[in-house]
Amino acid sequence: MVNTHNNLSKQGSIVSNDSNGKAFHYHKDPLYRHLSDNSGAHLGSKIAASVKSVFVNKFKNNLKEGAVYVMSGFNVVPSSSSFRSTRHSYKLNFQYQTRIARADDDGSIHQFGFEFVPAVKIISGELDQNILVDVIGRVFNMSEVHESSSNDPNSMRVTIYIEYSDKTQLAITLWGRYANQIVQYMSKNFESVIVMAFQFCKIKEYNGTRLLSNSMYATRVIINSDIEEIRQFHRGLQLEDLTSPMNRTSHITMTTTTPLEATFSGYPLSSIDELY
């Protein structure tokens, strides 16, 4: 049996809590799915599954995020895409004859299947940058909001700085709808202790420094939600973390950048003479 998550949807998925403690998320028609089962390691084994556009209408109404299914009649092919949501060497391709049936959820398959990695492994460069990673931490800072075009919501970006339980720190740059929803949440809750879990993020390198960025379709962000991983992180916070939750100015500043600045943000630019 497998648990299906449509993380790699056309628009991505983001989960957080609003000021009333309610969870919310958004996604569009799934084309690429992440599956997990109850075998193998602590959180189960995971594999990606894709549905070609010609078969989307056949399956899109029969697969529900977080549900458990029995599946048969799919192809198993090498997983060779540039960015992969799992370390599995193969992925599943749905075919016209693929059959799925809803099964009872006995709780043995983890809802999200997190595999949090230490910041030191990301910063040191020892991880495969083609594999999307999961992290969790307390937000201690937030950059200005940059926007290269007021007419293009995808041009918005903001960098969140999180601190692990071992006090190591990591930067995560969010773009488009991810950035917009984070900014809206932070504007209302910056005085509280904020713990975020990020799933399926890309490892990027700018000016010799490694950080994370949301992927175009896959990333999930969970903010102060009532799940065990975030509850456990809150329980482990030190007193100083509770008294100084954020090192941010009292208001969010919007900075307009040119398309050139936005495209090459973080990249060192060289003249032609410096290429020799």
Each residue's pLDDT, cut to its tens digit, for the chain (276 residues) gives 555 544 333 333 445 444 444 333 333 333 345 566 655 444 347 888 888 889 989 988 888 888 888 889 999 999 877 778 888 888 899 999 999 999 888 888 888 889 999 999 999 999 999 999 999 999 999 999 988 777 777 778 999 999 999 999 999 999 999 999 999 898 888 778 999 999 999 999 988 899 999 988 789 999 999 999 999 999 999 888 876 556 544 444 545 545 555 555 555 556 656 665
DSSP 8-state secondary structure symbol assigned to residue 20: T
Tokens of 253: 């500043």
Nearest of 150, 238, 146 to residue 193 by alpha carbon? 238
* Whole-angstrom distance, CA of residue 109 vs CA of residue 71: 15
Reported pTM: 0.74
Structural domains of the chain in order of their starting residue, each with its CATH number: 2-103 (2.40.50.140), 119-259 (2.40.50.140)
User: What is the residue type of 166?
Assistant: D
